[in-house]
Chain A
Amino acid sequence: MLEVLNKIKENQQVAKKLINDASIEAEKIKQDLLQKSVAANEEAFLAEITQAEKKADDLQKSSILSIDQEIKQILSTAEQQAKEIAFKAKINHEKAVNDILDLLFNRSEKNDVG
């Protein structure tokens, strides 16, 4: 009878140790969690910021792309206008030269001594 009681008592100790070991393991997991939770918080924080910065960067790039065509159009129109101006000026070039020459030669005709 005593032997049986001792055996039960021994196994109770084993059972107690099993639970103690589990508690120690759980405590280790908890300690690990404390460290991981700070990192998880920081990682999530940085991930949000990084994502927002990338989004901002993408927006900036798309802004430039979206007006690129408009800018090309403005410059192309200006080049066309410059060509038209040059064409018109070519027609009137000789008249301008002669008018200025006449202006210089005839400016004091009011005092004509001829």
Chain B
Amino acid sequence: MTSADALIEAILSEAHETAEKIILDMKKTVQVTLEEQRKKGKERAREIVISIDKKAQNDSVIIKLREMASAESKAKWLILEQKHVLIENVLNQVKDELFTRIKTDKYVNVLENLIVEGGIILGATDLEVILNERDSTLPLDLDRLAEKIGEKTGTKTKITKSAKKIDVVGGAIIQTTDGKIVMNNTFEGMLHNSESEIRFKIAQILFT
């Protein structure tokens, strides 16, 4: 090999090395730059990630509270519904039993008492009682009842039986003859008017 060949070889070898270094350096720069950009991307997301994390924590607490409240509410309804059914059972049997009780001897006296009670509350001179078909046939001494009312109210009272009939189990509607003031002393009326007290009393007996 001549000295010229050696020189040429050295020139080319150095050129190859330089070219390789240029490419290698650039590739290294690429790696570093990409890694920096990835870090910047993560950093850019940091605030949003914190916000998502915070919201997730809050949502988790809310979910727990909501689900627990819902379960507790369901549990309360379950018990209330059960109690409601049991109270209804009593009321239904009461209505059934009333049909039996109105056939007893005591019923006439009960009916008279209900008429007197209504008459005293109304406190009018001319009263009218409205009964169901069956009770209209009972031997009620309305004059005696009027006398009893008069004793309590201090007013001479007259009671007449209405030709009108009502569709009830028993009891009576007592009203002034002009129909302006009405006292519903039928069993249905009493159950309706005192519904909340009756339900409360049933609940006390059943559940305490």
Contacts and interface: CB of A to CB of B under 8 A. Distances in A.
Interface string B19-40: 1101101110110011001111
B159 interface: no
Query: Interface residues of B: mostly helix, strand, loop or mixed?
Result: helix
A101 B98 contact: yes
B90 interface: yes
Contacts of A64: 63, 67
Contact of A55 (B19, B56, B63, B152): B56
A113 B78 contact: no
Interface string A76-101: 01110110011011001101110111
Nearest to B65: A67
Given A36-B34, A40-B38, A26 B22 contact: yes
Contacts of A88: 206-207
Contacts of B83: 85, 89
Contacts of B71: 70-71, 74-75
Given A82-B82, A88-B207, A111-B116, A59 B60 contact: yes
B22 A23 contact: yes
B26 A111 contact: no
B110 A105 contact: yes
Interface in A100-114: 100-101, 103-109, 111-114
Interface stretch (B42-50, B127-135, B160-168): B42-50
A45 B203 CA distance: 64
B138 interface: no
A95 B98 contact: no
25 contacts: A18-B15, A25-B22, A29-B30, A33-B34, A36-B30, A37-B33, A38-B37, A41-B41, A42-B41, A46-B45, A63-B63, A67-B63, A71-B71, A82-B78, A92-B206, A93-B86, A96-B201, A96-B202, A100-B90, A100-B91, A108-B113, A113-B113, A113-B144, A114-B109, A114-B112
Interface of A: 4, 7-8, 11-12, 14-16, 18-19, 21-23, 25-26, 29-30, 32-33, 36-38, 40-49, 51-53, 55-56, 59-60, 63-64, 66-67, 70-71, 74-75, 77-79, 81-82, 85-86, 88-89, 92-93, 95-97, 99-101, 103-109, 111-114
Interface of B: 2, 4, 7-8, 11-12, 14-16, 18-20, 22-23, 25-27, 29-30, 33-34, 37-42, 44-46, 48-49, 52-53, 55-57, 59-60, 63-64, 67-68, 71-72, 74-76, 78-79, 82-83, 86, 89-91, 93-94, 97-98, 101, 106-107, 109-110, 112-114, 116-117, 120, 144-145, 148, 152, 185, 187, 190-191, 198, 201-202, 205-207
- Considering the complex of A and B, which 5 residue pairs feature the smallest CB-CB distances, nearest first? A44-B41, A15-B15, A22-B19, A56-B56, A78-B75
